[in-house]
Amino acid sequence: MMYIIAAVFLDALFGDPRKLPHPVGGVGLIIRFWEKRLYRKEDKKQAGMIFCGAVLATTGAAVGSVLLLASSIPPLHGAAVLYLLYAALAWRSLKDETLPVALSLFNGDLPRAREELAGVVGRDTQCLDEAGTVRAAVETIGENFIDGVFSVLFYAALGHALCGAAGAAVLVWLFKAASTMDSMVGYDNERYHDFGYACAKLDDALNFIPARLGGAVVILAGACLGYPPLRGWRIFLRDRKKHRSPNSAHGESAFAGLLGIRLGGGASYGGVFEARPEIGDDARAPEAADILRAHSVLDASVALCALALLLLFGL
């Protein structure tokens, strides 16, 4: 378990290891390799299932091979496990990517804030007002806390309980492979509607339990910081299913409830407006400080997760 806790500290200190070889890049290469060879099949849904299995098997074999090769040198094996766990976390990067948005808004530079936000979200940002910009940033933090932080820690803990430190690294990267497949081919469009179906459903299944546990952790963390837990629970229980994804609104509704702002409500993608349910109550207009408040709730949530791991499994 010490490897997981150490990975959390490394992520807090250094963030995403962008200057080092990143396993996500390797997973992306694996995905493109199998997509080129399997997409041509006539039955796209069946091909997508084979593709999904092939990517998971190749990723698992690659991670397992690295750990096996390093096992003859214990310090190297420990370093490999630690790096694999650290590289899977997105706690610090979530803050690093959304902080410039808040700073630009504090400086009164809305166009710059929109530009910063465009590098983080998939929606069109050029027409957003300040409130819409803040909403988009907080939504990103709320949604990605689940699949970028909590789910990683959940599967790291599960893997560690089953097979030790190496099991934690392997299971985490099987999860990350599923998440990366969903982000690359899990779209409901003409090319990927059938081919990416299995990948999208797998990602939904893997995040199902973490999304619900993670939302509860966010509310408990917010309560520790002085945010109203009853309002958090009320919005969470009321709005956590207001999304076409079975998981995405759990994190968003928890953050919306704690902060007392409305999220959701639809957005424009590629010039086409996509209507979505509103999450949270419109008690006040979102402001730039809400991004920093979301950061504090995020930090407290990760701290609670680390404490829970220590209490459950010890060092």
Please tell me the distance from the alpha carbon of residue 164 to that of residue 231, in angstroms, as a whole number: 39
Domain that holds residue 270: 2-313
Among left, alpha and beta (phi > 0; psi -120 to 50; other), residue 285 is beta
CA distances from 103 to 117, 221, 284 (A): 12, 24, 21
Q: What is the pLDDT along the chain (315 residues), one digit of tens a residue?
A: 899 999 999 999 999 888 788 899 999 999 999 999 999 878 999 999 999 999 999 999 999 999 999 999 999 999 999 999 999 999 999 999 999 999 999 999 999 999 999 999 988 899 899 999 999 999 999 999 999 999 999 999 999 999 999 999 999 999 999 999 999 999 888 899 999 999 999 999 999 999 999 999 999 999 999 999 999 999 999 999 998 889 989 999 999 999 999 998 888 888 888 888 999 998 899 999 999 999 999 999 999 999 999 998 875
Nearest to residue 248, comparing CAs of 125, 135, 141?
141
CA 139 to CA 134: how far, in whole Å?
Answer: 8
- In this prediction, residue 315 carries a pLDDT of 56
Q: What is the pTM of this model?
A: 0.95
For the chain, what is the domain count? 1
User: Per the structure block, which two tokens stand in for 52?
Assistant: 């999904």
> To which residue do tokens 């008690």 refer?
283
